[in-house]
Amino acid sequence: MFRPIWRMRRGMTLGAQGAVIDAEGRVLLVRHGYRPGWWFPGGGVEWGETLVNALARELEEEVGVTLTAAPELHGIFSNFASFPGDHIAVFVVRHWQRRPDYRKRGEIAEARMFAWRELPERVDAGTRARLAEIFDRAPIASRW
């Protein structure tokens, strides 16, 4: 209920998402309970939080993933279709481990690893574009 008011009062929002890639070249995607499609895990950057700290917190909360080395910043993308001041920082995460006792909870309906060439049908367009940039070296766009 307060989200539309909060968004109108803020000039910009910033999120951090991770392209979590395993040794086999598969990527971890999530499906939320509140919106359709598959996305990178991640979420909003809180006050006093760095992008990397936000990414680490969101990966731990959403999918039980702990960073074991620094992630690589892939790019920062404007997501104006969602909100005129929204931006998303995407990191490539190749060094990580997942808690063996991880169980999906909260907003995450499903989390799965997918091969780049075997993605599910309903991958978010921005997520699909970032994957093409990462795996196929497609030109990096500035918009989500």
**Model pLDDT for residues 39-51, shown as the tens digit of each residue:** 999 999 999 999 9
pLDDT level of residue 84 (50, 70, 90 thresholds): confident
48: left (phi over 0), alpha (psi -120 to 50) or beta: left
Considering only CA atoms, give the Rg of the chain: 15
Residue 93 has pLDDT above 90, yes or no: yes
CB 71 within 8 A of CB 18: yes
Tell me which CATH homologous superfamily contains domain 3-136: Nucleoside Triphosphate Pyrophosphohydrolase (3.90.79.10)
**Model pLDDT for residues 117-136, shown as the tens digit of each residue:** 999 999 999 999 999 999 99
Burial of residue 119 (number of CB atoms within 10 Å: 0-12, 13-18, 19+)? middle
Instruction: Quote the CA–CA distance of 16 and 64 in Å, as a whole number.
Output: 16
Residue 10 has pLDDT above 80, yes or no: no
Domain boundaries, the chain: 3-136
Residue 7 has pLDDT above 70, yes or no: no
